[in-house]
């Protein structure tokens, strides 16, 4: 599948496609982005972790990071689109928000036919620098969540003679997310002892673990990092499944508490499937953590104060869990750690660049969702241009 089994010597400056020998793509896309990995000395001093490294994904031009939808979902969008043949049918993507923004922006930029399905709660993340191309259509479910969007997207793909993007099962998406660790392997003296990330489906963590195994097989590293995966305290299905198996008990959940990072809400994450989150945690000797709203808010302020850039709620959850792990001795103070800041710079971008909502969004009512009825205008535009 790949050009070489050895860790590829990065080629050129075309973003994550510098690792193209390890990416399952048919083509590269000009102007691609990649994560910025740097030694987080200042934040590390605050946490008592001198060997803390940060993988920043988002908009931070001073550090050369230009993800204009402000999250690492652009990584998976680049590789998923790069895997498509030139005559590919319409791609249908279901998302809780950030993935939708990434695919919409990039499919528009490279003029690839794409239909995005999102729940209504996700529309506040659909802000763009320029109008979307006519080949990109947005569908909003007036009622329903991410799981409903997935089911509706699958039916819509059939009606449009299109193809579903595939989520965590899409090898190209996982390969794009894995470039976080490839960038770390390029920037860091050694692979980290611990890898810290907030997860919803866990696709990013699975991707990083797969990349770590490849780096070990290639002789670039001698062991995989321990995964420390983080979720909202008020909604943590992966954490609860892991703790139930490890501790043999149910984990109490606070009631009536709003989810801090709603992008991490996934009711059907790939936990117990072969190669899923459970297998990755076991193979890496990893663990699951949770953070409540006050801790996440404090972590968000801490990163802004120390590093000088705003971060997304999911990244704040990850940092909050890392703060707890450092304070409780869960991680060795001298260990090398990589914190994946999965999104940031949204406020920084808004300060300098006017952002606008999409010009047109097709709405699907609760009755239409129940009956499996599609917007007529969308079906008439099945030959997207």
CA 257 to chain centre: 24
Quick: pLDDT tens for 111-133. 999 999 999 988 888 999 999 99
Task: Judge if 280 and 242 occupy the same domain.
Answer: yes
Amino acid 381: pLDDT: 53
Task: Judge if 115 and 245 occupy the same domain.
Answer: no
Task: Judge if 224 and 365 occupy the same domain.
Answer: no
Q: Is the dihedral of CA 321, 323, 328, 329 positive or negative?
A: positive
Backbone φ, ψ for residue 127 (5° rounding): -120, 135
Strand 163-164 to 91-94 pairing: parallel
Task: Judge if 244 and 370 occupy the same domain.
Answer: no
What is the residue range of 125's domain?
Answer: 90-161+357-380
Amino acid 294: pLDDT: 97
Point out the residues of the chain with pLDDT beneath 70: 1-4, 13, 168, 251-252, 254-256, 376-377, 379-385
* Structural domain contains residue 31: yes
* Structural domain contains residue 75: no
Task: Judge if 276 and 180 occupy the same domain.
Answer: yes
Task: Judge if 367 and 245 occupy the same domain.
Answer: no
Q: What is the pTM of this model?
A: 0.93
List, in sequence order, the alpha helices (H) in the chain: 41-47, 73-83, 98-109, 146-159, 171-187, 203-217, 237-247, 277-284, 293-307, 313-328, 346-352, 366-371, 376-380
Instruction: Report the Cα–Cα distance between both ends of the chain, in Å, rounded.
Output: 31
Amino acid 2: pLDDT: 59
Report the number of distinct structural domains present in the chain: 2
* Structural domain contains residue 186: yes
Task: Judge if 282 and 236 occupy the same domain.
Answer: yes
Task: Judge if 153 and 188 occupy the same domain.
Answer: no
Task: Judge if 62 and 130 occupy the same domain.
Answer: no
Task: Judge if 123 and 106 occupy the same domain.
Answer: yes
- Per-residue b or e along 156-172, where b marks 16 or more CB atoms closer than 10 Å to that residue's CB: bbeebebebbbbbebbb
* Structural domain contains residue 65: yes
327/304 Cα distance (integer angstroms): 20
Amino acid 331: pLDDT: 98
Task: Judge if 199 and 294 occupy the same domain.
Answer: yes
What's the full length of the chain, in residues? 385
Q: Which strands, in side-by-side order, build the sheet including 52-56?
A: 36-39, 52-56, 337-341, 194-198, 226-232, 287-291
Task: Judge if 184 and 297 occupy the same domain.
Answer: yes
């Amino acid at each position: 599948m790949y050009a070489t089994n050895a860790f590829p010597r990065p080629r050129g400056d075309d973003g994550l496609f510098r690792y193209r020998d390890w990416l399952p793509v048919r083509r590269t896309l000009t102007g691609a982005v990649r994560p910025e990995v740097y030694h987080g000395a200042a934040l590390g001093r605050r946490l008592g972790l001198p060997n803390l490294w940060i993988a920043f994904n988002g908009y931070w031009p001073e550090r050369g990071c230009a993800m204009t939808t402000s999250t690492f979902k652009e990584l998976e969008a680049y590789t998923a689109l790069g895997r498509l043949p030139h005559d590919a049918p319409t791609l249908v993507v279901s998302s809780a928000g950030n993935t939708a923004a990434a695919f919409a922006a990039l499919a528009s930029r490279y003029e690839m036919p794409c239909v995005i399905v999102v729940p209504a709660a996700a529309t506040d993340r659909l802000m763009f620098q320029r109008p979307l191309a006519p080949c990109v259509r947005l569908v909003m479910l007036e009622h329903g969540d991410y799981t409903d969007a997935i089911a509706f997207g699958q039916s819509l793909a059939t009606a449009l003679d299109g193809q579903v993007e595939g989520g965590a099962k899409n090898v190209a998406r996982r390969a794009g997310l894995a470039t976080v660790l490839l960038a770390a392997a390029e920037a860091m003296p050694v692979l980290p002892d611990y890898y810290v990330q907030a997860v919803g489906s866990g696709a990013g963590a699975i991707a990083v673990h797969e990349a770590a195994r490849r780096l070990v097989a290639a002789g670039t590293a001698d062991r995989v990092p321990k995964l420390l995966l983080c979720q909202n305290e008020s909604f943590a299905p992966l954490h609860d499944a892991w703790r139930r198996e490890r501790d043999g008990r149910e984990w109490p959940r606070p009631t009536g508490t709003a989810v801090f990072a709603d992008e991490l809400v996934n009711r059907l994450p790939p936990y117990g499937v072969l190669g899923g989150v459970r297998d990755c945690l076991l193979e890496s000797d990893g663990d699951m953590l949770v953070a409540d709203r006050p801790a996440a808010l404090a972590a968000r302020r801490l990163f802004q104060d120390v590093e000088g850039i705003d971060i997304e709620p999911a990244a704040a959850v990850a940092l909050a869990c890392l703060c707890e792990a450092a304070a409780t001795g869960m991680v060795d103070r001298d260990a090398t750690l990589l914190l994946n800041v999965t999104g940031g710079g949204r406020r920084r971008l808004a300060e300098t660049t006017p952002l606008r909502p999409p010009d047109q969004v097709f709405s699907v009512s609760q009755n239409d969702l129940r009956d499996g009825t599609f917007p007529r205008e969308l079906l008439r535009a099945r030959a997207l241009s």
